Amino acid sequence: MDFPNRRVFPPAFIPDHLIAEILSFLSVKTILRLKCVSKSWYTLISHPTFVQNHLNKSSRNPNFTLTLDDGYTFIPFRHLLENPSIAVKSDAFLQNPSLAALNDTSLQNQFLDILPHFNDFKIVDSCNGLILLCSKSRSIRLGYEYRFYIWNPATRIIYDKLGSLYYCAPNFQDHHLGFKFAFGFDDTTERYKVVAYRVVEDDNEDTTLGKSEVKVFSLGDSCWRNILSFPVIPLNWINLRYAYHNDAVHLSGTINWLAVKSYFHTFYEYKYITHVEQFVIVSLDLSTETYKQLLLPPGFDKVPSVQPVIRVLMDCLCFSHDFKNSEFVLWQMKEYGVQESWTQLFKIDYQNLQLNRLFNFRLVCLYINGDEVIILNGFNNQAVVYNLKNEIVQRIKLKIYNLKNLVVTRFDNNNNRFTHAKYYVESLVSVS
Amino acid sequence: MAAEKSSIKIITLIAADGSVFEVEPNIVKEMKTVQSYIDELDQNTVSIPLPNVFGNDLAMIIEYCKKHASEEETKEAKEEFDFEFVKRMKSDDKLRLLQAASYLNMESFLQFMAKAIAAEIENQSVEFVRDYFQIESDFTPEEEAELRKENEWAFK
């Protein structure tokens, strides 16, 4: 028997909570367009609950930021899993509607200020779909000037009310002593905060120790505030070649750095670290602006030959390191701040990754999705998709074409842009 | 677990049009509306009327639940099934199934249907979406023009 139910029970009225569920799966561009469907849709889309719900869904599909010659593009990690040989048009930046179209007339006013210097702005980090951009310029009178923008590439909104930060460098040699930055969200007060920090040598002691200066800018405030100094010095401060592998990472209202105890001087080298106990994670709570030190996994018991790395993967703090020049080990802190919750997620024999033996291994795990992981060798910037179960390796080949279809950048050879890739998720989040 | 307290072996679901479906308890695990009803019973069989769900729709939901409750099926087979399941549906079917999922309080099926509907309206025009959901605009033409101007780039 067949029941003619189509007209008996038509979907005439879909309640708002179901509309919200549907819309939360859409791209930001489509959502902004659908704001003018009706008044109730407009209200629903503008509501903070919807913005949060959309962000939660979008966070399951993270992108990595890729610096092009004329701007940035964002590529979903998932695309790399589906097809490790992908091609990007360099003008994707201008054409792809989810990216900032700087040639769009309606946007020119917004970008006028930043447009001529766009290449000077580097991505510090991204949080909830917002990207913190920073530029450093030489200012005759004041040493260095740092300028900032917070940019939501999906909604194309730029927030510029972040004060400049100045750094006086008496000698040109001291320029590397300038500030480093981190970006995070304080979920207690629901404010975004930018952290600036630098370390200088403190010669007053018998042994030279680092003395840090840490400043915070809360969005909505008008100035930078000094906060407590670091109890230990972040590893990325030390002028090491691969220090950027250990940039600050933000997670649930905290900013975290891999740090080293008994720091000596600016030209400290990795080989001076002799005990595994010297490594610690320093965590800044963005609401109280105080520090905590987190211990590393108990199973991590030998100083590896190359720097270990912390990252946020699958919403958890992860710690990875080399083991005896033969394996790559990754730990996950299942419950943030709980040392007992460190769990070894995997261990990969370098041979399985089929990486070129001529190079050293400075591995960083960029992404984990089920059995598939994306691993970068920071030494030669080769990245692979590796399947933990069937041990299949696929080399990532990312080509960037220009308008004439000529390859301008190949990411399967030495190019450090991949190394500087940051996580980014599309969102409707705004700051005001 | 709550489900194991119950001694029910067979559940009879009665759709709005009177059609009857006999299913095992593991099939209705995801239907929280049904589950909360049977948790309180101490008997072997039970009949549950579902006046807001039509037979055709209930048949599809049960088919979906059977596939997903099966332990023999691989993850890939389930994904393949999901793909085909959505492919053979019309827009109206999807909207009805979404409402049924809401009524039966089936969280993951609801998300699955919402995502399938989202895929249909992604990158579509405002007019298409109004027609899809049978929505009349309550903006004045001036208000709408103003809104469109605000995010002009999103309409290209």
Residue A421: band (very low, low, confident or very high) from pLDDT cuts 50, 70, 90: confident
DSSP state of A392: -
ipTM score: 0.92
**Average pLDDT in the A176-193 region?**
90
Q: Which of A12, A25, A29 comes nearest B154 by C-beta?
A: A29
Show which of residues 148-207 on chain A sit within 8 Å of chain B, judged by CB atoms: 156
Average pLDDT over residues A261-272: 74
Give the dihedral sign, CA A183/A125/B122/B141: positive
> Searching chain B, which residue's CA lies closest to the CA of residue A21?
B114
The DSSP symbol for B152 reads G
Residue of chain A whose alpha carbon sits nearest to that of B75: A370
Instruction: Please check whether residue B16 lies inside any domain of the structure.
Output: yes
pLDDT at B68: 92
Instruction: Give percent of chain A with pLDDT exceeding 90.
Output: 46
The reply to whether A244 touches chain B by the CB within 8 Å rule is no
Say whether pLDDT at A97 is over 70.
Answer: no
pLDDT in tens, A289-334: 999 999 999 999 999 988 899 999 999 999 999 998 889 999 999 9
Who's near A410: CB < 8 A, 6+ residues apart?
Answer: A397, A398, A399, A400
pLDDT at residue A254 in the model: 97
Structure tokens at A182: 């981190």
CA distances from A13 to A36, B136, B145 (A): 18, 12, 26
Q: What is the mean pLDDT of residues A204-228?
A: 82
Per-residue model confidence (pLDDT) at position B152: 84
What would the two tokens of residue A91 be? 């003008």
| Residue B113: other Cβ atoms inside 10 A | 28
Q: Do B121 and A19 touch (CB under 8 A)?
A: no
Which residues of chain A have a CB within 8 Å of the CB of B56?
2-3, 5
A368 vs A92: which has the higher pLDDT: A368
Alpha-carbon gap, residue A349 to B49, rounded angstroms = 58
Residue A293 has, within 13 A of its CA and on its CB side, a CA count of 13
Question: Within chain B, which residues score under 70 in pLDDT?
Answer: 1-6
Name the 3-class secondary structure at B148: helix
CA distance A2 to chain B (A): 8
Mean pLDDT, residues A345-356: 88
Smallest CA–CA distance, residue B140 to chain A, in Å, is: 10
Residue type, B147: L
Mean pLDDT of A226-240: 84
Q: Residue B11: inside a domain, yes or no? A: yes
Q: Which helix (H) or strand (E) holds A56?
A: helix A48-58
Distance CA B13, CA B22 (A): 6
Q: Is residue B82 part of a domain?
A: yes
Q: Is the pLDDT of residue A380 over 80?
A: no
Closest alpha carbon to A255 in A285, A214, A224: A285
Higher pLDDT, A274 or A26: A26
Q: Do B122 and A106 touch (CB under 8 A)?
A: no
Boundaries of every domain in chain A: 14-58
Is B130 contained in some domain? no
| Position A103 pLDDT exceeds 80 | no
Task: Report the run of H or E that residue A181 belongs to, with start and end.
Answer: strand A180-186
Inter-chain touch B139–A3, beta carbons under 8 Å: no
Instruction: Report whether pLDDT(A107) > 60.
Output: no
Q: Which stretches of A321-400 are DSSP H helices?
A: none
Report whether B65 contacts B26 (CB < 8 A).
no
> What's A258-285 look like in SS3?
EEECCCCCCCCCHHHCCCHHHEEEEEEE
Counting one residue from A and one from B, how many pairs have CB atoms under 8 Å apart?
110
CA A78 to chain centre: 17
Residue B51 in domain:
yes
Average pLDDT, chain A: 82
Instruction: Report the chain A residue with the minimal C-alpha distance to residue B117.
Output: A22
- pLDDT at residue A142 in the model: 64
Q: Which CATH number belongs to the domain containing residue B56 in this structure?
A: 3.30.710.10
Distance of alpha carbon B58 from alpha carbon A50, whole angstroms? 30
Q: Pick from B92, B99, B144: which is nearest to A6 by CB? A: B92
Segments forming the whole domain that contains residue B19: 2-89
d(CA B121, CA B116): 9
CB contact under 8 A, B96 and A1: no
Say how many domains are in chain B: 1
Q: Using the predicted structure, report yes or no on whether residue A1 has a pLDDT greater than 50.
A: no
Distance from the Cα of A372 to chain B's closest Cα (Å) equals: 15
Q: Which of A44-58, A118-132, A234-248 has the lowest mean pLDDT?
A: A234-248
Burial of A4 (0-12, 13-18, 19+ CB in 10 A): exposed
Test the B interface: residue of A18, A94, A99 with most B CBs within 10 Å? A18
A107 chain-B contacts, CB cut-off 8 A: 153
- DSSP state letters, A406-426: -EEEETTSS-TTTTT--EE--
Domain-embedded: residue B81: yes
Q: Per the domain annotation, does B13 fall within a domain? A: yes
- Contacts of residue A26 in chain B, CB cutoff 8 Å? 118, 121-122
Q: How confident is the model at residue A69 (pLDDT cuts 50, 70, 90)?
A: low
Give the helix ranges, DSSP H, for chain B.
2-5, 32-38, 55-69, 75-87, 91-103, 107-121, 126-133, 141-150
